[in-house]
Every structure is written in C-alpha cells, then in structure tokens.
Amino acid sequence: WNAGAGPAADELGNIYAVSANGIADLSNGRHEYGDSVIRLNPNLTVADYFTPFNQADLNLYDVDLGSSTAILLPASAGGVEHPYLLATAGKEGRLYLLDRNHLGGAQSESDSGALASLPILGHSLFGAAAYFNGSLFVAPEFAMMRAYKISNGELGSVPDSTASFAAGALGATPSISANGAENGVVWIVTANSNGALEAYRADGLGQPLYSSLDNPADSLDGLVEFSVPTIADGKVYVGTQSALEVYGLISAPTPNVLAATNAASYDPRAIAPGSLISLFGTDLSLITASAGSIPLPVSLADVSVSITGIPAPLLYLSPRQLNVQVPVEVAPGPAQLTVRVAGRLS
C-alpha cells in the first residue's frame, strides 16, 4: 500500500512494487509474494523478487514491508559489481539496499541476498525515502529525519546527519529542491501541531531552515496524512484538508518592462505571431534560467508572460531580459503584454 507512494519504474519499463502483509509461498504452483520487493517486466509478469528472511514475523505482527515504496538510485550510487540499486524500508524499521538486477529471491535465516539489511531506523517508515548527492533521506515516525550515505554500492550503517526535530506520527516523505547538484533543500510535511511544512539543508540536516510553525500566517489548514510537498517554479505546494496551500517568496520587486523587440534584429516593429521576441527591463526575473526542453514552458522560475491574455512560451529568463515566443494564436494588431514575476505584474 506504500502509504500513498507509487511504484517505481526504470528506463527499460520494469516496474518495482513492494507488497504488504500476506503469505509468501511459491511452492506447488502458488504465487504468493507477501512482504516482498517485486520486479515486474513491462508485460507485468514477475521477473525477480526479494522476500526477507523474517517475512513470517513481519506478516504475523503487522510490521509489513509494504508501508514504504522502492527508491531506484542512480548509477553514481552503485559500484562495479552492483551498479543498479534499490532502497526500501518498512514498519519494522529495517533499511534494505538491493541489487535491482538480482533482487535475491526468498531469504532464509538471514538477508544474505541483500547488499544491506540494517535494522537501524528504530521506527516505522511510511511513504518513501528521497535521494540526493549520495545521501538517502528517511523520516520515520516519531523520529528525527536522517541521511545515510550510499557510495560504491555500500550503505552507511549510521546517519551522516540528523534533523533536530522528530517528524511525529506517520513520519514524512521528503522532497528535494536544488539548483542542479547545488543548494539542496529537503522539504517534509509532518504531523506536528496538526501539520507543519519544514525545510532543511541537504548537506547537513541540523536545525530547520524554515518551519511553518514559526509564523501563524504560514500554518497548514489541516494535515492530510502522507502528504508530500511538491516544489516547482520557486514555490512549494502542500495539499491540506480544505485547500492547496502555496509557499514562496513574498518580497519580490515589481518588474518593469521597458522594451519589446524582435529577438534577432531588436526591431520593435518586427513582431509577429510565432516569432521570438526579447523583452528588456528591470526585475524581470529573480534568477537566470533557460527552458530545458521542448515544448517550451509557459511558467519558469515563477515568471510568466501573456500577450492578449494568451500564455507565451518562455525560452530564457534573466533580471534584465526575457526571450519569449509570441503565441501563434495572437491576432495581428495592437496587443497587451503582461509580465508576471512572483505575483507582481508589469
């Protein structure tokens, strides 16, 4: 059930699911995979699996493995012998590291088929972990969030860093925001005080960078269990019992567009539907950024542009220049152009 988290999939279309309580029995033609990590082919047949040595106890005492989902790690975390890794945990508080190409099958007496099987969390894990820059972040219930190093296919047995405050009932599923591999921030929604959004440095958790409990105006409008913060365009989105709450900077300066020109010739008269234009001015963006893919986004780093009310695709942002495509739907003739930066308009 994975506490609201979904299954994982690799680039070949294999699906990795983690099951909850039930029988584990493949004898006499049975197909029972209780408390197991299961790899499914793209045609949804079982290709491989891992069942812990103590599966019968996990099932008997309701400490199912399937309270948390599988996390597929990048090749940079693996080693020569085991380049493709998978991490998971469950209610028992045991953290597993598996070779996802050779999960290990049914274990007996010990988890010798696992790269790591460490009862180190001390509390149940629900939802999912998160991975960033060589660290696996987990936030078990009634415990501090902590980061474990993974390097060359090996999982550290002690935390590399630990948050200062416990996550409360049901723990949390971390989300990571970053500028590439720099300035990583770990965001969690906890059950503390009926719901709190917290942020920590990814390179050393410690004291929170931010907590919604510090300002009454920032408080969540009722916790939804297993809620996961979503980060996009310089904002953090959190679903609550009655609203979608959006967190972000509230002190952005007002943008000021001074000129709109053809992007190639800088001729202000050579603007047509579908063409690229350059906008010049001040405070047109909080950062410098470029669109990373096609189709071009209509919102990037909390900047959006519209022409006659039609959203315009964005190619490049900087505080003094925006490169934008005129929507093909814009009719010939006079047009109103609006630039929005962090909620402020020009």
| Mean pLDDT, all residues of the chain | 94
CA distance 327 to 308: 10
Structure tokens at 264: 């190639």
Number of Cβ within a 10 Å radius of residue 260: 20
Q: What is the pLDDT of residues 194-206, one digit of tens each?
A: 899 999 999 999 9
Place of tokens 């942002």: 317
CB distance 98 to 104 below 8 Å: yes
Q: What residues have CB less than 8 Å from 294, skipping those under 6 apart?
A: none
How far apart CA 37 and CA 14 sit, in angstroms, is 13
Taken in order 246, 251, 252, 254, the sign of the CA dihedral is positive
Instruction: Give 55-87 pLDDT, tens digit per residue.
Output: 999 999 999 999 999 999 999 999 999 999 999
pLDDT tens-digit profile of 234-260? Answer: 899 999 999 999 998 877 789 999 999
What would the pLDDT profile of 107-136 be if each residue is shown by its tens digit?
999 999 999 999 999 999 999 999 999 999
Residue 29's pLDDT band, with cuts at 50, 70 and 90, is confident
What is the DSSP secondary-structure string of 201-265? ETT--BS-SEEGGGSGGG--SS--TT---EEETTEEEEE-SS-EEEEE-S-PPPPEEEEEEETTT
Helix (H, G, I), strand (E, B) or coil at 192: helix
For residue 311, whether the previous peptide bond is cis, meaning omega lies within 30 degrees of 0, is: no
Q: How confident is the model at residue 342 (pLDDT cuts 50, 70, 90)?
A: confident
Structure-token pair, residue 254: 């007002």
Enumerate the β-bridge partners of residue 144. 166
Is residue 230 pLDDT above 90, yes or no?
yes
144-174 in b/e form (b: 16+ CB < 10 A) is bbbbbbbeebbbbeebbbebebbbbebbbbb
- pTM of the full structure: 0.77
